[in-house]
Chains A and B, each alone.
Chain A
Amino acid sequence: MAERTAVLGVGQTKYQTTRGDVSLPGLVREAAYRALEDAEVGWDDIDAVVVGKAPDFFEGVMQPELFLAEALGAVGKPLLRVHTAGSVGGSTAVVAASLVQAGIHRRVLTLGFEKQSESNATWALSLPQPFSVSINAGAGGYFSPIIRQYMARTNAPELIGCMVAFKDRQHALRNPYAHLQQQDLTFDQVVESPMLWEPIRFSETCPSSDGACAIVLGDEAAGDASTKPVAWIHGAALRSEANNFPGRDEVNPQASRDCADDVFAQAGITDRRAEIDEVEIYVPFSWYEPMWLESLGFCEIGDGWKLVEDGATHLDGGDLPVNCSGGVLSSNPIGASGMIRFAEAALQVRGMAGDHQVDGARKSFGHAYGGGAQYYAMWIVGADKPTS
């Protein structure tokens, strides 16, 4: 049986457009330091470090984990880098957890980061291939056709995406780490914002952020020894698939469904909507909230948009609050964005989410996806130790 594994501490930086006051090492050091402080452990207590970020050409620093080793306290320790595009923060946490679950290490520091102010993500995602047709405009250009297919399949009302965006920006006001703090934003302003990648509006799109997020994971003894509440891992799973093959369901990819089935089975959860108290899913474009709710089995296929319309995913009064932190729509340091979902899920079941806390949250779901919606990472954390 796998070693029971707990989130002992979480550290985040304030997400913003430019962290001009710190270098890349300074940025990651800050998140790592805060995670250690939260976990009440020192650098010497860490046995290994697992790092993730988006592809190297975003900032143009190749293999940055090597030059960041000192800032991460990893000198003389095992240091592992994970690569799964936008889902990397989640995959990195799952890989780090596996090192504890397998009994290899007692405590592992895991961290994801991006300094988008030192890069140009849309350019990096629009790299022309020689002798081919170069017309795709970044991630929005790629995901817009898939969203259009979802809308056609479900006949969802046109403004569902705007409702998600407005909800997440409202949630962000209750999270001091969130990048976008749009106090005066109105729903009409979201609706009236310009179309960038029709049907995706400007306000339905994630921002570009600088930031890092770190988690300290520990084995059962370390979790038991903690003076603070910890988050126990009840399930962790990864899946991937090719991004273009005959009959691929791009709206609801098989890798997503398989990953969800695996992680819920590990956690012994049968009624996903009833048994999960808070959900942190990777929603860089608003329509992905209803799309993932369906794919993840929180509702029937075709019903995701109804949860949005009914307010079920809102922190105030919803039975399945989604992205209480404000989500990727409010903060997007790409390589960290997946790990933020995992970390926020842990904060919820530790009762440490502050103003965006879901009262009495006992089980929470963290999720990330990346590439052409082809890489998936998920975990379920609980306030109680898993029984199996």
Chain B
Amino acid sequence: MSADPSIPPAALSGEVRLPEKLADVEPVRSVRTPIRLEYDFIPGSASSGYLNAFADRKILGQRSPVDGAVFVPPRGVDPRHGAATPDYVELPDTGHVGGFCVTRLPIPGRDDLEIPYVSAWIHLDGADIGFLGLVAGIDTSEVRMGMRVRAVWKPDDQLGRTAENILYWEPTGEPDIPVTAAGTNAWHAKQAAESGEQAAGEEG
């Protein structure tokens, strides 16, 4: 590993002889070829139910038949147990912020987003995993893990069968959830509370 790494091995760097007529032509170093693809989106049964419900300002999850965990968006399957999740659960449009990122650079296709903006894991009340949402209506420096939020919806005449019906999530002003019970900790906090209740019940 002693040779200069920026000099390619001699065996791979033979001299290139161009025909005379190309001698003064500027070499082509790269070519950009934008491509596009049009396709029909077929969301499958679980996602269809989820997306259709948005037209009625409803958020649907699915419940695990094994341990009762509620998934949103629903994917038709419980990822831990491999069990099908045919039963939908209607969820409220309130919850709390889990982990979040204050993003200070633009992303493709979202020129409408003012920088900086907050992308956050929103943990809906009654759901056991989070999904990504935009948090607004508050200074980015004020956003906290455990902060209570509610959905701000598009006007009725603009509703479609899309999760984009929720414009952003705004603070409700309620007290924060403790960080130890927020975001991905929520499931463990819930399990602990339930086993505590059960233990108390057994004692009684």
Pairwise interchain contact A242-B80, C-beta atoms closer than 8 A: yes
Give chain A's interface residues, CB within 8 Å of chain B.
10, 12-14, 20-22, 26, 29-30, 33-34, 37-38, 60, 118, 122-123, 126, 128, 130-138, 140-141, 144-146, 148-149, 152, 176-177, 194-199, 242, 244-250, 347, 352-354
Pairwise interchain contact A131-B41, C-beta atoms closer than 8 A: yes
Please judge, given known A-B contacts A195-B104, A247-B184, A247-B188, whether A30 and B8 are in contact too, CB under 8 Å: yes
Contact of B109 among A122, A131, A134 (CB under 8 A): A134
Pairwise interchain contact A148-B145, C-beta atoms closer than 8 A: yes
Is B108 on the interface with A (CB-CB < 8 A)?
yes
Pairwise interchain contact B1-A352, C-beta atoms closer than 8 A: yes
Q: How far is the CB of B127 from chain A (nearest CB, A)?
A: 9
Contact of B164 among A22, A33, A38, A133 (CB under 8 A): A133
A195 partner residues in chain B, CB cutoff 8 A = 102, 104
Q: How far is the CB of B159 from chain A (nearest CB, A)?
A: 12
Contact of A14 among B5, B105, B107, B110 (CB under 8 A): B5
Question: With A and B bound together, what is the CA distance between A194 and B104 in angstroms?
Answer: 9
Q: How far is the CB of B31 from chain A (nearest CB, A)?
A: 10
Give chain B's interface residues, CB within 8 Å of chain A.
1-2, 4-6, 8-9, 11-12, 29-30, 35, 41, 43, 51, 69, 73, 79-80, 98-105, 107-110, 113, 116-117, 119-121, 128-130, 132-134, 140, 145, 160-164, 166, 179, 183-184, 187-188, 191
B102 partner residues in chain A, CB cutoff 8 A = 144, 195, 197-199
Question: With A and B bound together, what is the CA distance between A198 and B140 in angstroms?
Answer: 10
Please judge, given known A-B contacts A137-B119, A148-B99, whether A176 and B43 are in contact too, CB under 8 Å: no
Question: With A and B bound together, what is the CA distance between A132 and B12 in angstroms?
Answer: 48
Pairwise interchain contact A146-B104, C-beta atoms closer than 8 A: no
Contact of B101 among A128, A145, A249, A250 (CB under 8 A): A145
Q: How far is the CB of A7 from chain B (nearest CB, A)?
A: 13
Pairwise interchain contact A245-B129, C-beta atoms closer than 8 A: yes
- Cβ contacts A to B, 6 pairs, < 8 Å: A14-B5, A131-B164, A141-B119, A144-B99, A196-B104, A244-B79
Q: How far is the CB of B145 from chain A (nearest CB, A)?
A: 6
Pairwise interchain contact A135-B35, C-beta atoms closer than 8 A: no
Pairwise interchain contact B51-A131, C-beta atoms closer than 8 A: yes
Q: How far is the CB of A10 from chain B (nearest CB, A)?
A: 8
Pairwise interchain contact B99-A246, C-beta atoms closer than 8 A: no
A250 partner residues in chain B, CB cutoff 8 A = 99, 184
A14 partner residues in chain B, CB cutoff 8 A = 5-6
Q: How far is the CB of A163 from chain B (nearest CB, A)?
A: 22
Known A132-B163, A137-B119, A352-B1; 9 more pairs at CB < 8 Å: A126-B107, A126-B108, A130-B41, A133-B133, A134-B110, A152-B145, A198-B104, A247-B191, A250-B99
